[in-house]
Structure 1
Amino acid sequence: MESEPSLVFVVTHGREDAERATLPFVLGNGCLAMDVKPVFILQSEAVRLATKGYADSIQAHGLDPLKKLLDNVLQAGCPMLVCSPCAKERGITEADLLPGAFIAGAAKVIDLLLDAKNCLTY
């Protein structure tokens, strides 16, 4: 994989919209199959996707289970940034996160977006 992210996914939905929460990770798994490095930035309700157990029961119609897709990208070492103010507002700490996900502030997010070739927002 390349050292800089080729594709950044900004994810803003959680359980309230299973399809929008899942689609970025469907594409992220597609990136892995094509040796493209995806990066995930979780904001708003999507920060809950990075917490242990939250995605276990999310299944959008016609798509793979979100837990499976999340596990694949995290096991592949894809960065998953969790919006710091969004996490704080929801009482989420680093201890609550899945292995590989981390809380990041605006500067880190902006750096990634500036280096990325493309960005998709869900």
Structure 2
Amino acid sequence: MATRSTLVIKVTAGADAPERCSQAFTVASVAAASGTRVSLWLTGESAWFALPGRAAEFELPHAAPLPDLMEAVLASGGGITLCTQCAARRGIEEKDVAEGVRIAGAQVFVSEIMPEGVQALVY
């Protein structure tokens, strides 16, 4: 039985660079909808979207709402991870994050991108 490929997307942009941010979430949700396993990493300014309700505050004309895109990733069996260091710098703890979001660090990121057949994108 063949294993499904995984697309790992690390988004570093948030409201500070809305088009880059939206592009990352859009690519993640489209890949998930197409049957690709997706691992979406929230780092830098996108870390704030790990908090309940924060993704709903993001607005960009002609772009799908971030909560819908995040739900598409989770509904497909994909994962959303908040960077450990990014969370710590912002005072975000495990108890603070939205349902379905985990906090993990570089070791987990490396383990996800290293298997053969994995592709990673950074926005």
TM-score after normalising by structure 1: 0.88
- Contact 1:79 / 1:100 at 8 angstroms: preserved in 2? yes
- Most deviating of 94-103 and 109-118: 109-118
Runs of 5+ consecutive residues of structure 1 not aligned to the other structure: none
Amino acid at match of 2:23: L
Which structure has the highest helix share of the two? 1
Amino acid at match of 1:106: A
Runs of 5+ consecutive residues of structure 2 not aligned to the other structure: none
Q: Which residue of 1 aligns with 2:40?
A: 40
TM superposition shift of 1:5:
4.8
Q: In the alignment, is residue 19 of structure 1 matched against residue 19 of structure 2?
A: yes
Q: In structure 2, how many angstroms separate the alpha carbons of the residues matched to 1:34 and 1:71?
A: 15
Q: In structure 2, how many angstroms separate the alpha carbons of the residues matched to 1:68 and 1:34?
A: 16
Aligned residues: 121
Q: In structure 2, how many angstroms separate the alpha carbons of the residues matched to 1:86 and 1:24?
A: 18
- Contact 2:32 / 2:72 at 8 angstroms: preserved in 1? no
TM-score after normalising by structure 2: 0.88
Q: In structure 1, how many angstroms separate the alpha carbons of the residues matched to 2:27 and 2:75?
A: 16
Q: Which residue of 2 aligns with 1:119?
A: 120
* RMSD, aligned α-carbons: 1.7
Q: Which residue of 1 aligns with 2:65?
A: 65
Q: Per-residue CA shift, 1:73-110, capped at 9, x if unaligned? A: 12333111111111001000111111111110221111
- Contact 1:18 / 1:60 at 8 angstroms: preserved in 2? yes
TM superposition shift of 1:3:
5.3
